[in-house]
Structure 1
Amino acid sequence: MSTKFNELRSDIDELNELLKLAKRKRVQDIVSLEIRKLETELIALKEKEQSAQPAAKSEVSAPTTSAAPQKRYQIKLNGYGWDQSDKYVKVFVTLKNVQSIPKERVYCKLTDRSMELHVDDLEGKDYVLTINNLLEPIVVLTSHWKQKTDMVVVFLAKVHPNVKWSHMTGLEKKADDQHKNRFKTDDMDKKDPQESIMGLMKNMYETGDDEMKRMISKAWYEGQQKKKTDTLEL
């Protein structure tokens, strides 16, 4: 194989290592898209180099026969971008040269809570992107998709127009909520216990009856006197 082929292979391997280290969703999407671009370029280069190789001298011309159909393998896509309007959630999937294949090879299988994008026989390969457990339900009949230059855009029609999606899937929202709750718990653990007690007493004083207010005032006064006595003794 050529030097360029080896360079592309090395770039893909290094990007895959970076993808394992990436934690933010946006960064993972960017790295995944770049990996797919380089893989597509690598495949095209490999096919070009193989077709340019001269036939072996020992080969004997044979009568032309219909070639056996080339076996394709499926590539599962993970990275995508998304945006939304009042009526649609738009999913952006980058695939080089996808605009060059017939429309019937690009299609979606939809349910009210999932989408599965298929791109068949794009430069000898099949691609599929599956998104399950959508955050909100969609209208299957009015959802649609379009081929653009190096990209497919899927328009998922919202059952509830004008409702903004905070996340693409329920699983992403659950994970994000757990992450936020963990930080709230950590913040509470860091609070001064004395500050928490004072806040509790203040609330009791403001909401309590006259007897409760008298008892709290007395306790506070005695506490202040004790502090003064301890200071004098020192």
Structure 2
Amino acid sequence: MALALEELENDLEEVKALLEKATRKRVRDTLTVEKSKIETEIKNKMQQKSQKKSELLDNEKSANVVVPITTGYTVKISNYGWRQKKKVSENYMNLAGVHQVPAESVQVHFTERSFDVLVKNLNGKNDSMIVNNLLKPISVESSSKKVKTDTVLILCRKKAENTPWEHLTQVEKECKEKEKPSYDAETDPSEGLMNVLKKIYEDGDDDMK
């Protein structure tokens, strides 16, 4: 293509030289048309050359990108905790060496009431965690993740800011409520306490009785 382009440029220079010397209108018109044809052809060749160069660069970039392949076995993340702030619920997972894996190996997916985490190829395994039925809705677009030293931090942006979360999930809330002893407001407090002790005694084992 380089040789063909060079030939066209030489042809163009010669046509321009002839056009400067020509005096007859018919000759000048013919040379002008030929000049336009050559210029158009040169422009097309230049565009093709630029496009091929761009494709080569894209191919080189693609070849240099290492896509993480999921290998090994998958384990459930068990070392984690959470705390809340006015605008977000912060969920942190302790994973030794997670800051050393490629950024694309740490994947997080959010929905309005859940999030799941997958860390690929960390120390020969994949670590995952799924949290469903969040206590309150979150903003999917504004939620995010951060990878720090040995820690993955999941930031769930509350839809209702400044609203406290007593628990992380609805299930946790329901379990805690079931654990609370029930009292009758109209019953004497001492009688209510006796009922609780009686229930503990009835549900207890032989040693307790």
C-alpha distance in 1 between matches for 2:86 and 2:70: 44
Q: Which amino acid aligns with 1:97?
A: G
Counterparts of 1:207-218 in structure 2 under 5 Å? none
* SS of equivalent residue, structure 1 residue 184: coil
Cα separation, partners in 2 of 1:70 and 1:77, compared to 1, 3 Å: closer
Partner residue of 2:91? 91
- Once the two structures are superposed, the pairs formed by residues 168-207 of structure 1 within 5 Å of their partners are 168-180=168-180, 183-185=181-183, 191=189
1:163 is matched with 163
CA deviations 1:78-113 (Å, max 9, x no partner) are 342111111110001000010001111001111100
- Which amino acid in structure 1 is aligned with residue 129 of structure 2? L
Local SS of the residue matching 1:152: strand
Number of equivalences: 123
State the distance in 2 between where 1:119 and 1:102 align: 10
SS at 1:171's partner residue? Answer: helix
Bigger helix fraction:
1
Counterparts of 1:89 and 1:163, CA distance in 2: 11
CA gap of 1:189–1:145, structure 2 versus 1, over 3 A, is same
* Aligned equivalents of 2:145, 2:173: Cα separation in 1: 25
**With structure 2 as the length reference, what TM-score do the two structures score?**
0.54
- Counting only pairs closer than 5 Å after superposition, residues 119-134 of structure 1 correspond to structure 2 as 119-134=119-134
Unaligned runs of 5+ in 1: 1-68, 194-234
**Corresponding residue for residue 100 of structure 2:** 100
Are 2:109 and 2:116, in contact at CA under 8 Å, matched by a contact in 1? Answer: yes
| TM-superposition CA deviations, 1:26-67 (whole Å, max 9, x none) | xxxxxxxxxxxxxxxxxxxxxxxxxxxxxxxxxxxxxxxxxx
Which letter maps to 2:165? Answer: W
AA in 2 matched with 1:171: V
Q: For 1:184, give the aligned amino acid.
A: S
Distance between the aligned counterparts of 1:89 and 1:192, measured in 2? 40
Runs of 4+ in 1 over 6 A off after TM superposition: 186-190
CA distance in 1, matches of 2:183, 2:150: 45
Note the C-alpha offset of 1:149.
0.5
Paired residue type of 1:117:
V
Between structure 1 and structure 2, the one with the greater Rg is: 2
Amino acid at match of 2:91: V
User: Sequence identity of aligned pairs in percent?
Assistant: 33
Q: Report 1:1-234 matches (<5 A).
A: 71-180=71-180, 183-185=181-183, 191=189
3-state DSSP class of the match of 1:167? coil
Letter of the structure 1 residue corresponding to residue 182 of structure 2: K
Cα distance change on mapping 1:184 and 1:124 into 2, 3 Å: same
Q: For the aligned residues, what is the CA RMSD?
A: 2.3
Instruction: Give the whole-Å Cα distance in 1 for the aligned partners of 2:140 and 2:159.
Output: 9
**CA gap 1:93/1:185 in 2 versus in 1, 3 angstroms:** same
